[in-house]
Each structure stands twice: as structure tokens, then as C-alpha cells.
């Protein structure tokens, strides 16, 4: 990877993404953060170089971006960042931790993040700007839409459909064939035995 990388955000999720990039020997130019109190600080040896606007000082052909903004239930801020900088001509790279497993036949769209310990089995398709977080397990033939977040330790059994912007909480389990609707939430530790409709929040078994 010859181009330098800028990570958008300097919080907890950005630190995890940065750690994965460093494990891959990537060259990270710095991180951005709109809170001026963090400007100039270092995270894992990389400096916060200013707010998000500094990205526009660079040629989109010369740098690559990583969306370091995480999400807890609401994926809208991540989606806004992705769409804003895509419209300016920038490209978001995929971040795949060396300790993750992606089987043959997995399809990843732009800006996907696969973190340490995650497992993706054959036939899985992941939409743009989606997070497959630490230790999540995505079994065969699952389809996950854009701007979704599969939180740490979540399990999707075979042939699950997760629509755009959905959030699957930490330790949740979605059994085979279940559909999770657009913008919906499956709460942490829940087991989804049936479909969850668009915009719904499921917190029971």
C-alpha cells in the first residue's frame, strides 16, 4: 500500500482501526478529530492532525481514508462521514485485521472493517462502510447491507439478511434465515428467532 492513510475520528473505534492498520504495516499519516482539545495528541504513536476539514487539503488521489467513527445503535454519523467524503472524490479502504478470517468467496464492498477474531464464511457479502467488529462470526451466505454494524461477539448463522444501517449488539445471535430490517436494532445478548422489521428494536428472546 503506497498511499498514506488518514483516519477520521480519534475515539475508541478509531484506535481499534489504527491498531489493525499498524498490524498490516500500513502508513498512517494521522487522525482527525473535531474536538480541538485532542489536536496534537498521539494515539499509538500517530498524531491527531486537526479536524475533518484538513482532509480536503489533500488530493483524493494521494490519500486513502478510514472511517474511525464507531456506533452504538445509531449508524447515521458513520454514514454521513462516508457519503460526505465520497462526494469529494475520496476512497475508503478496507481494514482487515491479520487475526480475522475471511473465507474464499467473501465479497467486501468499499470501506468495510473486519476486526480481530472475526470469522466470515463462504458466500458472505458485506456492504460498504460496514463494521464487523471484534470476534463477530458471520456464517455462510449471509448478506449484510451498507452502513451496518455487527458488534463484538455477535453471531449470524447461515443465510441471515441484515439490511442497511442495522445494528446487531454485542453477543447477540441471529439464527439462520432471519431478516433484520433497515435501521433496526438487535440488542446486546439477544437471540433473534424471527424477522425484525425496519426501524424496530428487538431486546427479547
Given a cut of 90, whether residue 204 has pLDDT beyond it is: no
pLDDT confidence of residue 83: 97
C-alpha cell read off for 200: 424496530
pLDDT single digits (tens) 43-94: 999 999 999 999 999 999 999 999 999 987 788 999 999 999 999 999 999 9
> Cα-Cα-Cα-Cα dihedral of 30, 78, 91, 46, to 10°?
10
pLDDT confidence of residue 1: 54
DSSP letters for 173-193: EE-TT-EE-TT-EE-TT-EE-
pLDDT single digits (tens) 100-140: 999 999 999 999 999 999 999 999 999 999 999 999 999 99
pLDDT band at 205 (very low <50, low <70, confident <90, very high): low
pLDDT single digits (tens) 150-177: 999 999 999 999 999 999 999 999 999 9
Cα separation of 108 and 41, whole Å? 33
Given a cut of 60, whether residue 200 has pLDDT beyond it is: yes
Amino acid at each position: 500500500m503506497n498511499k498514506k492513510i488518514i483516519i477520521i475520528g480519534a475515539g475508541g473505534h478509531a484506535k481499534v482501526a489504527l491498531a489493525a492498520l499498524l498490524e498490516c504495516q500500513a502508513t498512517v499519516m494521522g487522525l482527525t478529530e473535531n474536538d480541538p482539545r485532542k489536536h496534537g495528541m498521539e494515539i499509538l504513536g500517530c498524531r491527531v492532525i486537526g479536524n475533518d476539514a484538513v482532509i480536503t487539503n489533500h488530493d483524493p488521489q494521494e490519500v486513502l481514508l478510514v472511517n474511525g467513527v464507531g456506533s452504538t445503535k445509531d449508524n447515521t454519523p458513520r454514514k454521513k462521514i462516508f457519503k460526505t467524503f465520497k462526494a469529494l472524490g475520496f476512497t475508503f479502504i478496507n481494514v482487515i485485521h491479520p487475526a480475522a478470517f475471511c473465507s474464499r468467496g467473501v465479497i467486501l464492498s468499499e470501506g468495510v472493517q473486519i476486526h480481530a477474531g472475526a470469522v466470515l464464511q463462504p458466500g458472505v457479502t458485506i456492504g460498504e462502510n460496514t463494521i464487523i467488529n471484534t470476534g463477530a462470526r458471520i456464517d455462510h451466505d449471509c448478506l449484510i447491507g451498507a452502513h451496518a454494524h455487527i458488534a463484538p461477539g455477535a453471531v449470524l448463522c447461515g443465510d441471515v439478511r441484515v439490511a442497511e444501517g442495522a445494528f446487531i449488539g454485542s453477543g447477540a445471535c441471529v439464527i439462520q434465515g432471519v431478516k433484520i430490517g433497515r435501521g433496526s436494532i438487535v440488542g446486546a445478548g439477544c437471540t433473534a428467532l424471527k424477522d425484525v422489521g425496519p426501524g424496530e428494536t428487538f431486546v427479547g428472546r
